[in-house]
Structure 1
């Protein structure tokens, strides 16, 4: 009798877990998830989702490239997340990547190739109105994303990243043209030309990922480096140059020694596989080298002494697109969108970088092991056509990390094993009860009744 009872309870519990959480299935092999983590597919059918944020009511806002900004309410616990019906917040097909929202849920920012827009936003209704162009003059034919970072450490400062207009854009040697730069703006002002902003950093080919460390306010960018690189006539593009993580100091530091620094592009590039670089000499991984058409080696000293080197480097062509710190500034999560300019696909994952108490990565600048993958494509040989491609990242108020996949029109949620918050510094906030919660409660009630009967 007792054995039969235990069996019945086990079946009931298994049924509850299986039936309570909506299950979406991808068209490609399931992701490979590192020990200690869970990843669940929670949304499909979006149009090239890129940047995303959460507002002060816990709603998810996501940029759908070529559509505008869409919003979803969120319910459920642990990794069992359910998105409500999609609602259009901004219908503007020119929006393609950048998005920010103020902590009070009253102001929304989004970007197109040419313009940063500001909207009055109502987080209760998930609605916007009165768009205003606050930054213009950014149009280009290549490298089209304009990442937005609204500082939480320095009042009224919006950082806007703008890439170059070619793979190797020689015009970017002039700081005044505004290409391949990070600039700082006052978002309360309107009709600002991009070149009127304060230059935070330049010589940044395409710094798509930008983040502010909540611990100390340090600003970081992840640079997508050049393709098809040659040196002294030799093609070295398979394993050089490295993608870069660059440090730009603190926005509230009036004596920031890194303000306005040049980070090398288009003359200097971070080394990854030094053995494949002609006349490398004493060059090390993480140091910059030159690619001048003649006698590039003689220019390496210029790159070392006159340009700001990267703090970390990543494998070439992994294409880092977004950066998000946890609440303590101890972990920096990175989306690696993946390669096209390489024989063997690399990237296509979400990875993490460890940071120390000093606000800096624990790995040295010459390390090749700074990234630890946590969610990856299990078969990258099918990439990019048959896999997910990570793009944007965002934290919800329960410490869950969400990732967009633009190529597949999907969103994933990432938590620790057992459904625990990935960022436990964020206090859990109650959400609408999910079917999993309700069925779980029924199971508990059933167990209680059975044991009461036994007693």
Structure 2
């Protein structure tokens, strides 16, 4: 998996020319893997460029071209690369930037590249950062707190390029079906935005060992911020469409699903692409702040497998034993916001990244565990309309995601196959 992380990151850097650098004999790579090389779509190339990373998750290129990697149970590491012969990439150095074993996924950089942000299950932090020297130059500052819950513990970060200082933070559920997510006050299964520029940049110490900002208390996730959406089980990946500023998230939906006493989990519910509104004051959306359904309602993928369901692909339905208070009417678009697109159940999308033109979004699918025949384990692209900022395919489509890098055979997954992160 560590090799794949570098692959996915480099894909984002070369996306404008449809180029992915991941290993290969022509460049004299000495890397070997204990699993077959993935398949690659026409117009792309894949080569291995780095290995021996520790459970890598979030990745980000800084303004000096260093690849910053969140390694779980380690911290943040900077990798540098040398590019020769047009398309041969070789790792040249590796430097520990932040030694903090609690950091587990989220990473972001300010627009000037001089402030680094990262998260653990409880909080969001910032550091002054020197990209040329590949080092942080301050103690951590605590920006947002009170996010601790079990099970889904990653906190993805996105700093808006359309609304200065607005930081989007995602928080997942505490279990497969988390009843507390129905209570808005718990903060479970929500996506929020916070104006971190209003916190300033000066550091003062507090009892936690990390600093607060301007001597004031950090934001409380449960009670502060702008609500972009709730009822979002685990919105791991999030990005901002570059032309319109539309915020999109990709959601890992529920496992072990039952309806009317029947096991329908193999191909339901669909994983989701959700539109969460805008952060800029120039545009508004009725989607923003809505309940997206979880834990009561889920999006259909295989409609034929859902008992007593008359809806279409992407429409939401209730689970369990249906009655006068738990039924598909509760899950209609009038009551719960449906996803913009759905994908095959259990593929586990972990990240979404738009190209600069706003014509494509790449999504990494980490892969299933809750299915006899594994699915996911691939990098895919979804086509977008650069004028509207919406996917080209309609909400009932089952073909919106086109494979870019994938395994020829997923039967050896997850241990012996290509498994991308973000």
SS at match of 1:241: coil
Q: Answer yes or no: is the 8 Å Cα contact 1:220–1:245 preserved in 2.
A: yes
C-alpha displacement of 1:158: 0.2
Alpha-carbon distance in 1 for matches of 2:220, 2:390: 33
C-alpha displacement of 1:140: 1.0
Alpha-carbon distance in 2 for matches of 1:134, 1:37: 40
Alpha-carbon distance in 1 for matches of 2:415, 2:325: 38
Kindly tell me: are residues 298 and 205 of structure 1, through their superposed partners in 2, closer, same or farther at Cα, counting changes over 3 Å?
closer
Answer yes or no: is 1:172 the counterpart of 2:181: yes
Kindly tell me: are residues 391 and 19 of structure 1, through their superposed partners in 2, closer, same or farther at Cα, counting changes over 3 Å?
closer
User: Could you tell me the TM-score, scaled by structure 2's length?
Assistant: 0.86
Residue 213 of structure 1 corresponds to: 241
Alpha-carbon distance in 1 for matches of 2:284, 2:312: 30
Residue 196 of structure 2 corresponds to: 187
Which of structures 1 and 2 has the larger relative contact order (alpha carbons within 8 angstroms, sep 6+)? Answer: 1
Q: Answer yes or no: is the 8 Å Cα contact 2:232–2:292 preserved in 1.
A: yes
Instruction: Give RMSD over aligned pairs.
Output: 1.5
Q: 1:56 aligns with which of 55, 63, 67?
A: 63
Q: 1:28 aligns with which of 26, 35, 41?
A: 35
Kindly tell me: are residues 381 and 297 of structure 1, through their superposed partners in 2, closer, same or farther at Cα, counting changes over 3 Å?
farther
Alpha-carbon distance in 1 for matches of 2:229, 2:153: 18
Q: Answer yes or no: is the 8 Å Cα contact 1:280–1:297 preserved in 2.
A: no
Q: What does 1:360-399 correspond to in 2, within 5 Å?
A: 360-392=390-422
Alpha-carbon distance in 1 for matches of 2:145, 2:389: 33
Q: 1:323 aligns with which of 336, 344, 352?
A: 352
Larger radius of gyration: 1
Residue 296 of structure 2 corresponds to: 267
Alpha-carbon distance in 2 for matches of 1:21, 1:60: 21
Residue 76 of structure 1 corresponds to: 83
C-alpha displacement of 1:73: 1.6
C-alpha displacement of 1:293: 3.0
Q: 1:202 aligns with which of 227, 230, 234?
A: 230
Residue 105 of structure 1 corresponds to: 113
Q: Deviations over 1:310-367 (max 9, x none)?
A: 0000000000000000000100000000000001000000000000131110111001
Q: Deviations over 1:354-388 (max 9, x none)?
A: 00131110111001101100101222000011112
Q: Deviations over 1:117-151 (max 9, x none)?
A: 10010111110122111111111111011000010
Q: What does 1:174-323 correspond to in 2, within 5 Å?
A: 174-188=183-197, 189=199, 190=213, 191-195=218-222, 196-253=224-281, 255-281=284-310, 283-295=311-323, 299-304=327-332, 305-323=334-352
SS at match of 1:172: helix
Residue 164 of structure 2 corresponds to: 155
SS at match of 1:146: coil
C-alpha displacement of 1:296: 7.9
Q: Deviations over 1:25-62 (max 9, x none)?
A: 22100111111211111111000111111111111101
Residue 376 of structure 2 corresponds to: 347
SS at match of 2:37: coil
Q: Answer yes or no: is the 8 Å Cα contact 1:267–1:292 preserved in 2.
A: no
Gaps of 5+ in 1: 1-16, 393-455
Gaps of 5+ in 2: 1-23, 200-212
Alpha-carbon distance in 2 for matches of 1:298, 1:170: 14
